[in-house]
Chain A
Amino acid sequence: QITLKESGPTLVKPTQTLTLTCAVSGFSINFGGVGVGWIRQPPGKSPEWLGIFYWDDDQRYSPSLRSRLTITKDTSRNGVVLRMTNVDLVDTGTYYCARTSSDDILRGGWFGPWGQGILVTVSS
Chain B
Amino acid sequence: NLLLTQPHSMSEFPGKTVSISCTRNSGTFAGDYVQWYQQRPGSAPTIVMYDNNQRPSGVPDRFTVSIDSSSNSASLIISGLQTDDEADYYCQSSDGNNVVFGGGTKLTVL
B partners with A: yes
A105, closest chain B residue (CB): B99
Proximity bits, A94-124, B CB within 8 Å = 1, else 0: 0010100000011111111111110000000
Task: Judge whether A46 and B104 touch: CB under 8 Å.
Answer: yes
Q: How many of B's residues come within 8 Å of A, CB to CB? A: 25
> Interface residues, chain A, CB within 8 Å of chain B?
37, 39, 45-49, 62-63, 96, 98, 105-117
Majority DSSP secondary structure for residues of A touching B: loop
List chain B residues, Cβ under 8 A from A115: 44
The reply to whether B44 and A117 contact each other, CB–CB distance below 8 Å, is yes
How many angstroms from the CA of A69 to the CA of B65 in the assembled complex?
34
Which of A47, A63, A110: most chain B Cβ within 10 A?
Answer: A110
Question: Bound state CA distance, A48 and B100, in angstroms?
Answer: 7
Q: Which residues of A contact B90 (CB under 8 A)?
A: 46-47
**Could you write out 25 A-B pairs with CB less than 8 Å apart?**
A37-B99, A46-B90, A46-B101, A46-B104, A47-B37, A47-B45, A48-B101, A49-B98, A49-B99, A49-B100, A62-B98, A96-B44, A106-B94, A106-B96, A106-B97, A106-B99, A107-B94, A107-B96, A108-B32, A108-B51, A109-B94, A111-B45, A114-B45, A115-B44, A116-B44
Q: How far is the CB of A16 from chain B (nearest CB, A)?
A: 25
- What residues of chain A lie closer than 8 Å to B101, measured between beta carbons? 39, 46-49
Task: Please report the C-alpha to C-alpha distance between residue A112 and residue B46 in the assembled complex, in whole angstroms.
Answer: 7
Query: B72-106: which residues lie under 8 A (CB-CB) from chain A?
Result: 90, 92-104
B-side contacts of A109, CB under 8 Å: 33, 35, 94
* Among candidates B44, B51, B95, B97, residue contacting A110 with C-beta atoms closer than 8 Å: B51
